[in-house]
Chain A
Amino acid sequence: MSEALNEQALARYRNDFLKEVEERVEEGEWVKMCMQCGVCAGSCPFGPHWQHSPQKIFMMIRAGKREEVLTSDSMWMCTSCYNCVVRCPRQLPITQIIHGLATYAHRLGLAPRDQPTRHFSRLFWKNCTRAGRVNELKLTLGLYFKDGLVSGIKKAWALRNIGLGMLLAKRLNPFELIRGHECSDKAGIQKMLKKAHELENRRRGFQE
């Protein structure tokens, strides 16, 4: 599905990656407004730890470096602190664009496979949309066991005191593992999400 989407996008936009971003990425139409002053890059608390700063990503989009942008793990490093948005002299919604790019890269299947934030996002989405409620126990365990059984048991063991404390404080219910609480109209929620997905596809020109 995602490969087909990627093929379509390639055929449709050819070398015009900026146009692709403008039409298909949330708030993407703002990218061309960047004047490359560098305040976002300098203001980002994660700055030294990611490969491409927002400033660099925007320039890469304009330079048509599609592959490099969409496979970059930088968008997944954003912590949504909004420092860049507050300071941008052109008031670009930088955080939103960065998340938009991450989402788009994910849909096209180009986002880095083992990126932990991406993994968590998928886990969260699946967990949350299944029953219309987040099952925190399942979500946490899912994250612990992402690298296999042994490493999962080790992580759980290391945090056993916290878990026990939460159990005693009634912040953790072990029976959630069996069934868990659910939204009363589960089917309704899923129908709504399906509709939203369709609407987005239509608006962005995705064909599935």
Chain B
Amino acid sequence: MTQAVATNQTILVVGGGISGVTAALEAAECGKDVVLVEKNPALGGRTTMLYRYFPKLCHPTCGLEINLRRIKANPRVRVLTMAEVTGIAGTRGDYTATIRIAPRYVNGNCTACGACAEAVETMVDDPFNYSLNRTKAAYLPHAMAYPLRYVLHPSIIGTPDAERAKAACKYSAIDLDMKEETIKLKAGAVIWATGWQPYDAAKIQPYGYDRFANVITSVEFERLADPRGPTGGAILRPSDGKQAKNVAFIQCAGSRDENHLRHCSRICCMASLKQTNYVRESYGEEAKSTIYYIDIRAIDRFEEFYAKVKSDPRVKFIKSKVARIAEDAKTKDVVLHGVDTEGYHRYANTHDLCVLAIGMEPSVPAERIPAEVIADSSGFIEATPEGSAIFGAGCATNALDVNRSVQSATAAALRAIQVINQVARAEA
């Protein structure tokens, strides 16, 4: 797959999350050649790590399945995984991208039978579950991974474990001699869709994410609720595995804060509202969710969803940004301290578990993108400079939900298609 042929009529899509996959498919289905570059071993990005979507509470696997099927059916999309774009040179209609491909140590013969995972003994942090659990060092990234192929963790290369994996494979799929390689690809236009990452919660010192076991982030909570997550879908708190029935959600954890992220991350209010549903589904009438907020920003037409959650007597809203969290040394319960804005009452509320609705920051901040883009003060791509054909898509351009990411990706695809059409006309 590394010998992908590309011309200046090819569209290079950087990032294989929901935005990159969408942009690649939209362009390919319009008859353009696309190379899709993804840093991780499988496509899908952070969308695959969600348990459910708002507002319909459907599972992301559904949309993902459709998109992967479209990719498999389309010969115009070529996918490079474990690949990173390190440089882009040239001008609109004539770019050359430098791509570094990390070794996977597993070739195309892999049937995903799992024999290597059984043979290997070393355990590594599972990135798919935000390191909440550990997985074998020979692993399938996740159940719906595309390409459906195992990966060997680089830490076991050169150890007896790697040899064990190789010996266990009946299909000669394990190639321990794979090396990192760097390739160059031509492209007429580039769609930059490197997405987002959760803000480092440990930086919000008064919330003690790095000190208290029962303070977790919203993305981690998403994994706890997922049947394929580290707890098999049971909402158990990390300190002692006790059922977390009384859950606090802190909004704007990192967002709207000049000391952290200055932008509103836009999705966190809806994410917390959605997550109160998980608690409710798990524990019924015993569930108790409390949302601490500055103001609820149920964007766009989601106000109805907010109203529905608000009418649930098991969900309480407290208008206040929590000032600090303390831990009860004996029970490991979390105690939230602050003053509420409606009446200025001082509170110290005890909860089983505290979920920080963590802010979104760009995975690759604009200053680290190896091409010229116009960025905002948070490092999101704001616009494309005059005469350039490098277009931002999805969360690389703003804090967006899945729906808006897809819209943004389609728009970027259209811009890229226009450039390719111009190139084609000039060359005809």
Task: Report B324-338 CB contacts with A as 1/0, cut-off 8 Å.
Answer: 100000000000011
Nearest-neighbor residue (CB-CB) of B292 within chain A? A38
Q: Does A196 belong to the interface (CB within 8 Å)?
A: no
How far apart sit A108 and B306, CA to CA, in the bound complex (Å)? 48
Q: Is B322 an interface residue (CB 8 A)?
A: yes
Residue of B nearest to A37 (CB): B321
Which among A48, A87, A89 has the highest number of chain B CB atoms within 10 Å?
Answer: A89
Say yes or no for A134: interface residue by CB 8 A criterion: no
Does A166 sit at the interface, judged by CB under 8 A?
no
Give the shortest distance, in Å, between B100 (CB) and chain A (any CB).
38
Q: Contacting B323 at CB < 8 Å: which of A35, A38, A48?
A: A38
Q: Which of A22-45 contact B (CB under 8 A)?
A: 35-39, 41-43
Whether B324 and A43, one on each chain, are in contact in the complex, defined by CB atoms closer than 8 angstroms, is: yes
Contact A42 B256 (CB under 8 A): no
Q: Which of B178-209 contact A (CB under 8 A)?
A: 206
Least CB separation from A48: chain B residue: B346
B206 adjacent to A38 (CB under 8 Å): no
How far does the alpha carbon of A156 sit from the alpha carbon of B258 in the complex, in Å?
49
Answer whether residue A146 sits at the interface, using C-beta atoms and an 8 A cutoff: no
Task: Report which of B257, B259, B341 forms a contact with A38, defined as CB distance below 8 A.
Answer: B341
| Contact in complex: A47, B258 (CB < 8 Å) | no
Q: Does B275 contact A (CB under 8 A)?
A: no
C-alpha gap A90/B339 in the complex (Å): 17
Residues in A whose Cβ lies below 8 Å from that of B321: 37-39, 42, 89
Number of interface residues of A (CB under 8 A): 19
A102 to B48, CA, bound (A): 55
Contact of A36 among B252, B341, B346 (CB under 8 A): B341
| A91 adjacent to chain B (CB < 8 Å) | yes
Q: Which residues of B contact A39 (CB under 8 A)?
A: 321, 323, 338
Closest to B348 in A: A42
A56 within 8 A of B: yes
- Cα distance, A110 to B220, chains bound together (Å): 53
Question: Is there an interface contact between A55 and B259, defined as CB atoms closer than 8 Å?
Answer: no
**Interface contact B338-A56, CB-CB below 8 Å:** no
Contact with A along B286-313 (1 / 0, CB 8 A): 0000000010000000000000000000
Residue of B nearest to A92 (CB): B258
Cβ of A35 and Cβ of B339 under 8 Å apart?
no
Q: How far is the CA of A89 from the CA of B346 in the complex (A)?
A: 19
B9 at interface (Cβ–Cβ under 8 A)? no
Q: Assuming the A-B contacts A37-B294, A39-B321, A43-B323, are A87 and B256 also in contact, with contact meaning beta carbons closer than 8 angstroms in the complex?
A: no
Q: How far is the CA of A35 from the CA of B320 in the complex (A)?
A: 11
Chain A residues in 8 Å Cβ range of B324: 42-43
Whether B252 pairs with A42 at a CB distance below 8 angstroms is no
| B338 nearest CB neighbor, chain A only | A42
Q: How far is the CB of B344 from chain A (nearest CB, A)?
A: 5
Tell me, yes or no, whether A53 is within 8 Å of chain B by CB: yes
Q: Is the CB of B339 within 8 A of A89?
A: no
Q: Would A53 and B339 be within 8 Å (CB), given that A43-B206, A48-B346 are in contact?
A: yes
Enumerate chain A residues within 8 angstroms of B337, measured Cβ to Cβ.
42
B262 CB to nearest A CB, Å: 9
Considering the chains assembled together, what is the distance between the CA atoms of A43 and B207 in angstroms? 12
Q: How far is the CA of A38 from the CA of B259 in the complex (A)?
A: 16
Beyond A36-B341, A89-B252, A89-B258: 10 further Cβ-contacts under 8 Å? A35-B256, A36-B294, A37-B252, A37-B321, A38-B320, A38-B338, A41-B323, A41-B339, A43-B206, A87-B323
User: Contact residues of A with B, CB < 8 Å?
Assistant: 35-39, 41-43, 47-48, 53, 55-56, 86-91
Can you list 20 pairs linking A and B with CB atoms under 8 Å apart? A35-B256, A37-B252, A37-B320, A37-B321, A38-B320, A38-B338, A39-B321, A41-B323, A41-B346, A42-B320, A42-B323, A43-B324, A47-B339, A48-B346, A55-B341, A87-B206, A87-B259, A88-B258, A89-B256, A89-B260
